[in-house]
């Protein structure tokens, strides 16, 4: 582990402490803490140093994300949201937009990125949010759902139809016509600030369109989503690690029939499954991050694979950990109770299991048969 990563992890441990359980129960993370982490650069650690970021590699940021995910998936979700917004600005913004928005996101401002709509998730053709042009202004109308971090956000990066193509528009949550409605009592990541958003004739300067707008919908969606899949995948590694740590600690000290739980073969089998899940998830995420860092053409499919594998292992690990701890882990707010609920959402967001399987199957069909 590098000195920088060790320092960042220690800082996370210090500011998070034992608070995730209470955050989960209350459904809220203190916004001052989020702003501090944003100003320290850890919420979007891959932003270059020229814009106030830490300039970390995908591999470094992945391990940092896993550590945050092992402590609190709600906080990791905010990290994913901020990172996706920053990456989208970095990828599609012009020079002035990158300087303005990235500097803000590494100075304590918070951002969320808005894709899903009441009738449009993975089906982009069903998207109804519209960005219109009116002289030197743009006008935004539409609805977005389940926007992670929107409750805390100063800025929203919104994907919408724009002319014959699509655009990302940076929208201040304080702008007239923006209505943010917090999702009450979500199944998991309860403190991640999920919200539904309505845009009613929101008028903004055309300079808020990233890169001038008018790109292809699929390019915009896939590029932003790729970062999200990396982040969720590494966050799932953190969930698995938290489950492994909690289960082994409990099995070491809890005694049943005169011996530690770990000495019972069926429990030992559960512990072995958790270890395998941690190792497999870590390796597939490391591969994906190395693809990102080397700009490999396999980067997109590696992200889908990492997200699919890690989310599945996280969901199973949450279930196993609750089984091992039994009533000790069944209390609301407990680390494995949170993992059990949080991990299920990881099999849905940033491309459901089924969508990931379709993408992987399509990729499999492009691989030439081995004729050796």
Residue 68 forms part of a structural domain? yes
Helix (H) or strand (E) holding 202, with range, is strand 195-205
pLDDT band at 123 (very low <50, low <70, confident <90, very high): confident
Percent of the chain at pLDDT above 90?
A: 89
- Cα–Cα distance measured from residue 1 to residue 60, given in angstroms and rounded to the nearest whole number: 9
CATH label of the domain that carries residue 175: 2.40.110.10
Q: Of 110, 143, 173, which marks where a domain is finished?
A: 110
Q: Per residue in 248-276, pLDDT tens? A: 999 999 999 999 999 999 999 999 999 99
Phi, psi of 320 (to 5 degrees): -65, -45
| Closest C-alpha to 65, from 303, 231, 310 | 231
Rounded distance between C-alpha atoms, residue 38 and residue 86, angstroms: 11
Q: Does residue 348 belong to any structural domain of this protein?
A: yes
Domain for residue 266, yes or no? yes
Whether 127 and 120 have beta carbons less than 8 Å apart is answered as yes
What is the bridge-based pairing of β-strands 155-162 and 111-114?
parallel
Final residue before a domain boundary, out of 180, 195, 215: 215
Distance of CA 13 to the CA centre of its chain: 19
Phi, psi for residue 198 in degrees, rounded to 5: -115, 135
Residue 372 is assigned to a structural domain of this protein: no
Q: What is the pLDDT of residues 173-215, one digit of tens each?
A: 999 999 999 999 999 999 999 999 999 999 999 999 998 877 8
Whole-number Cα distances in Å, 60 to 66, 206, 242, 305: 10, 36, 19, 19
Residues 197 and 116 in one domain: yes
For 206-241, the pLDDT digits (tens) are 999 998 877 888 888 888 899 999 999 999 999 999
Percent of the chain predicted with pLDDT > 70: 99
Taking residues 91-109, report their average pLDDT: 96
Is 369 a domain residue? no
**pLDDT at 18 > cutoff 90:** yes
What is the C-alpha separation between 28 and 303, in angstroms, rounded?
29
Residue at 371 is within a domain: no
Helix (H) or strand (E) holding 323: helix 299-325
pLDDT at 48 over 90: yes
Is 71 in the same domain as 171? Answer: no
Residue 286 confidence (pLDDT): 98
**271 and 353 assigned to the same domain:** yes
Q: What pLDDT is stored for residue 335 in this prediction?
A: 95
Q: Worst-scoring range by mean pLDDT, 7-11, 13-17, 323-327, 329-333?
A: 329-333
Whether 370 maps to a domain, the answer reads: no
Q: Is the pLDDT of residue 2 over 60?
A: yes
**HEC string of 227-278?**
HHHHHHHHHHHHHHHHHHHHHHHHHHHCEECCEEHHHCHHHHHHHHHHHHHH
Three-state DSSP at 130 gives strand
State mean pLDDT over 277-297: 97
Q: Same domain, yes or no, for 225 and 357?
A: yes
Query: Which residue matches tokens 């140093």?
Result: 49
Predicted model pTM: 0.95
Same domain, 278 and 203: no
Residue 3: burial class (beta carbons within 10 Å; 0-12, 13-18, 19+): exposed
> For residues 38 and 367, what is the distance between their CA atoms, to the nearest angstrom?
42
Q: Report residue 24's pLDDT band, with 50, 70 and 90 as the boundaries.
A: very high
Whole-number pLDDT of residue 125: 76
Identify whether residues 223 and 351 lie together within a single domain: yes
Other beta carbons less than 10 A from residue 306's beta carbon: 28
Which residue, of 215, 247, 267, is where some domain finishes?
Answer: 215
The boundaries of the domain holding residue 58 are 3-110
Paired strand residues for 259: 256
Contact 184, 129 (CB under 8 A): no
Clarify whether residues 347 and 228 are in a common domain: yes
Angstrom distance (rounded) from CA 363 to CA 359: 6
Residues 178, 197, single domain; the answer is yes
Question: Angle of helix 73-92 relative to helix 31-39, nearest 10 degrees?
Answer: 50
**Looking at the structure, do residues 266 and 149 belong to the same domain, yes or no?**
no
State the CATH number of the domain containing residue 261: 1.20.140.10
Residues 64 and 159 in one domain: no
Same domain flag for 129 and 259: no
Based on the structure, what is the number of domains in the chain? Answer: 3
Same domain? 16 vs 87: yes
pLDDT surpasses 70 at 372 = no
pLDDT surpasses 60 at 371: no
State the CATH number of the domain containing residue 60. 1.10.540.10
* Residue 67 maps to a domain: yes
- Pick from 314, 318, 311: which is nearest to 337 by CA? 318
The pLDDT of residue 112 is above 90: yes
- What 3-state class would DSSP assign to 114? strand
């Amino acid at each position: 582990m590098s000195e920088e990563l060790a320092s960042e992890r220690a800082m996370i441990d210090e500011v998070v402490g034992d608070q995730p359980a209470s955050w989960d129960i209350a459904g809220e993370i203190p916004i001052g803490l989020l702003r501090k982490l944003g100003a320290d650069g850890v919420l979007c650690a891959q932003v270059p140093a020229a814009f106030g970021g830490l300039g970390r590699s995908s591999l470094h940021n992945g391990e940092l994300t896993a550590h945050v995910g092992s402590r609190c998936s709600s906080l990791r979700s905010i990290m994913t949201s901020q990172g996706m917004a920053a990456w989208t600005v970095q990828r599609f913004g012009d020079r002035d937009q990158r300087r303005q928005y990235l500097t803000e996101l590494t100075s304590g401002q918070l951002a969320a990125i808005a894709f899903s709509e009441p009738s449009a998730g993975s089906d982009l053709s069903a998207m109804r949010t519209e960005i219109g042009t009116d002289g030197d202004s743009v006008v935004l109308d539409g609805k977005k759902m389940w926007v992670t971090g929107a409750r805390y956000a100063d800025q929203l990066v919104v994907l919408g139809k724009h002319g014959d193509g699509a655009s990302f528009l940076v929208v201040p949550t304080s702008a007239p016509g923006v209505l943010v409605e917090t999702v009450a009592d979500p199944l998991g990541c309860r403190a991640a600030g999920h919200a539904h958003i309505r845009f009613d004739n929101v008028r903004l300067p055309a300079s808020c369109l990233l890169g001038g707008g008018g790109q292809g919908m699929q390019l915009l969606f896939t590029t932003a989503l790729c970062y999200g899949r990396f982040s969720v995948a590494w966050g799932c590694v953190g969930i698995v690690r938290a489950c492994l740590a909690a289960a082994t600690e409990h099995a070491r000290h809890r005694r049943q029939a005169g011996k530690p739980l770990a000495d019972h073969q069926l429990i030992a089998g559960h512990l072995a499954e958790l270890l395998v899940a941690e190792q497999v998830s870590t390796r597939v995420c490391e591969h994906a991050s190395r693809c990102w860092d080397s700009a490999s053409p396999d980067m997109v499919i590696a992200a889908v694979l990492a997200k699919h594998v890690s989310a599945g292992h996280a969901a199973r690990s949450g279930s196993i950990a609750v089984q091992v701890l039994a009533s000790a882990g069944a209390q609301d707010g407990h680390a494995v109770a949170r993992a059990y609920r949080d991990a299920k959402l990881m099999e849905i967001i940033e491309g459901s299991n089924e969508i990931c399987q379709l993408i992987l199957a399509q990729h499999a069909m492009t691989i030439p048969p081995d004729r050796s």
